[in-house]
């Protein structure tokens, strides 16, 4: 049971069983605060109760700005939910190839089964190294695997949202990652090779069925996670612009061979009068100049667009590449390949450096150590106290040093 469910259950034990309608305590920050201050804030979105929906009846939104599946893998898949299992196999194959190319044949990717079966979601230091040594394909698969493990351990905390379509089919509005995680669990725990058969459990996912697909709601969820890269933001910007200008004025996603061209339809378009604030808000940015930047990204060469997304290149680098591309596309692509190459090399050499676990002050390990030492200290425990004092002294020196550095910055 998740911490959250435990809390709810504890709470439920305290409340009278006679919870009359509408007095059910909400846990949405907006609702709770409005209630607490006695305000009438219209609820953000209707609280729709989630119901179980078959993962095979849900169609992903192909235009979703956040790419959970790396662009290079996604091209091998037509978007059919029945094909997700095959997609994972392709993905896993590509991860092994990526490993082989990067680090020599004897290097193995992370242990997918071990993650799923142990329900482990926190990485230990060694796995951190694995994590860092891996390329973008492995990293993104590892993320889904860890999400799947946490869902298996704690349950799904946040239901996905879907739009009702024809023939009891649904279109996925938010939650592509979670939906894929369910597919992974469904595919893995199929009773083969002595694994438990849990297929039925992962057959359906809790989903809120919304009346109408809303790109703004999708944007607010994407934005809430705070990890959209520059390309993701550019896609998000484009989708919202299309909504403002009327979706019917644009050619559909399926009409394009290259996904970038779909979004690039808005590259030269101005936002409708008075809508800029709304756009900025939905994108979570505070300066209009960022919009200009996102328009630039829409015009990057295809190869850079795709690679930048998979490798999570920073917006600064993208802007630089755009500047070069305006003069000379080939030069920009060359520069881009150099950057990717350096990134690859750095990722690998990072592994050897990590071998000796650092316990210098200022590292996470050291803080943990301090807290543990503090716990062990006590009356009459001379040695423990001595050690606690020693780590604290180290920490103090570190704090002083940080302080010196920061003061220097200001003088």
The rounded Cα 149 to chain-centroid distance in angstroms is 15
Shortest CA distance to 318 belongs to which of 224, 242, 232? Answer: 232
Interaction of residue 154 with other proteins, rule CB under 8 A: no
Q: Is 43 in the site for other proteins (CB under 8 A)?
A: no
Which residue in 151, 289, 281 sits closest to 216, CA to CA?
281
Binding mask 349-378 for other proteins (x = CB under 8 A): ---------------x--xx-xx--xx---
Nearer to other proteins, 258 or 368 (CB): 368
Asked if 90 contacts 129 with a C-beta cutoff of 8 angstroms, the reply is no
Angle at 143 between CA 139 and CA 145, to 5 degrees: 115
In the complex, minimum distance from the CB of residue 152 to other proteins, in angstroms, rounded to a whole number: 20
Size of the site for other proteins (CB under 8 A): 41
Strand order of the β-sheet with 51-54 is 51-54, 204-210, 160-164, 170-174, 58-59
Check binding of 400 to other proteins (CB under 8 A).
yes
Sign of CA dihedral 354, 360, 362, 367: positive
Smallest separation, CB 159 to other proteins (Å): 13
Contact segment (CB under 8 A) with other proteins among 9-17, 160-168, 242-250, 337-345 equals 9-17
Strand partners of residue 205 = 53
Name the residue nearer to other proteins (CB basis): 66 or 186: 66
Which residues, numbered 274-293, are part of the site for other proteins (CB under 8 A)?
Answer: 284
Give the C-alpha separation, 66 to 278, whole Å: 20
Residue 89 binds other proteins, judged by CB under 8 A: no
For other proteins, which is the closer residue by CB, 352 or 368?
Answer: 368
Residue 13 or 49 with smaller CB distance to other proteins: 13
SS3 at position 67: coil
Q: Which stretch, 79-87, 169-177, 208-216, 218-226, contacts other proteins (CB under 8 A)?
A: 218-226
Q: Give the range of 3-11, 81-89, 132-140, 260-268 binding other proteins by CB under 8 A.
A: 3-11
Q: Shortest gap between Cβ of 226 and other proteins (angstroms)?
A: 6
Pairing of strands 204-210, 170-174: unpaired
Residue 7 touching other proteins (CB under 8 A) = yes
329 or 370, CB closer to other proteins?
370
Query: Is the sign of the CA dihedral 12, 42, 226, 243 positive or negative?
Result: positive
**In whole angstroms, what is the distance from residue 331 CA to residue 304 CA?**
12
Query: Which residues, 6+ apart, have CB-to-CB distance to 17 below 8 Å?
Result: none
Task: By CB under 8 A, name the one of 30, 199, 245, 299 that touches other proteins.
Answer: 30
Residues that bind other proteins (CB under 8 A): 3-4, 7-8, 10-11, 13-15, 25-33, 35-38, 44, 223-224, 226, 284, 364, 367-368, 370-371, 374-375, 395-396, 399-400, 402-403, 406
């Amino acid at each position: 049971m998740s911490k959250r469910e435990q809390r709810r259950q504890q709470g439920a034990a305290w409340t009278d069983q006679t919870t009359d309608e509408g007095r059910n305590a909400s846990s949405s920050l907006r609702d709770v605060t409005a209630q607490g201050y006695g305000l009438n804030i219209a609820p953000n979105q209707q609280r729709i109760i989630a119901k179980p929906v078959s993962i095979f009846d849900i169609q992903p939104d192909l235009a979703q700005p956040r790419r959970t599946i790396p662009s290079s893998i996604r091209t091998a898949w037509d978007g059919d939910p029945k094909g997700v299992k095959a997609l994972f196999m392709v993905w896993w194959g590509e991860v092994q190839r990526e490993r082989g190319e990067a680090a020599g044949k004897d290097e193995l990717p992370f242990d997918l089964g071990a993650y799923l079966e142990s329900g482990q979601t926190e990485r230990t230091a060694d796995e951190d190294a694995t994590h860092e040594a891996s390329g973008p394909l492995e990293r993104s698969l590892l993320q889904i695997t860890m999400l799947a493990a946490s869902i298996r351990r704690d349950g799904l905390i946040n239901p996905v949202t879907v739009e009702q379509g024809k023939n009891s089919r649904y279109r996925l509005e938010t939650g592509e990652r979670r939906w894929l995680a369910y597919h992974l669990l469904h595919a893995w725990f199929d009773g083969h090779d002595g694994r438990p058969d849990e297929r039925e459990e992962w057959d359906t996912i809790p989903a809120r069925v919304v009346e109408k697909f809303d790109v703004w709601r999708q944007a607010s969820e994407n934005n809430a996670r705070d990890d959209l890269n520059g390309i993701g933001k550019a896609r998000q910007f484009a989708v919202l612009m299309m909504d403002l200008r009327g979706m019917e004025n644009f050619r559909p996603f399926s009409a394009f061979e290259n996904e970038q061209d779909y979004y690039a339809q808005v590259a030269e378009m101005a936002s409708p009068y008075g809508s800029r604030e709304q756009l900025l808000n939905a994108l979570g940015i505070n300066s209009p100049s960022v919009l200009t930047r996102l328009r630039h990204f829409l015009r990057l060469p295809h190869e850079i667009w795709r690679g930048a997304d998979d490798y999570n290149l920073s917006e600064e680098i993208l802007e630089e590449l755009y500047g070069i591309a305006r003069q000379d596309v080939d030069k920009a692509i060359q520069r881009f390949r150099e950057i990717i190459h350096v990134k690859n090399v750095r990722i690998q050499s990072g592994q050897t450096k990590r071998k000796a676990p650092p316990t210098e002050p200022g590292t996470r390990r050291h803080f943990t150590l301090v807290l543990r030492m503090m716990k062990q200290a006590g009356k009459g425990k001379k040695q423990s106290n001595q050690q606690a004092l020693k780590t604290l002294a180290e920490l103090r020196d570190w704090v002083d040093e940080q302080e010196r550095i920061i003061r220097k910055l200001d003088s």
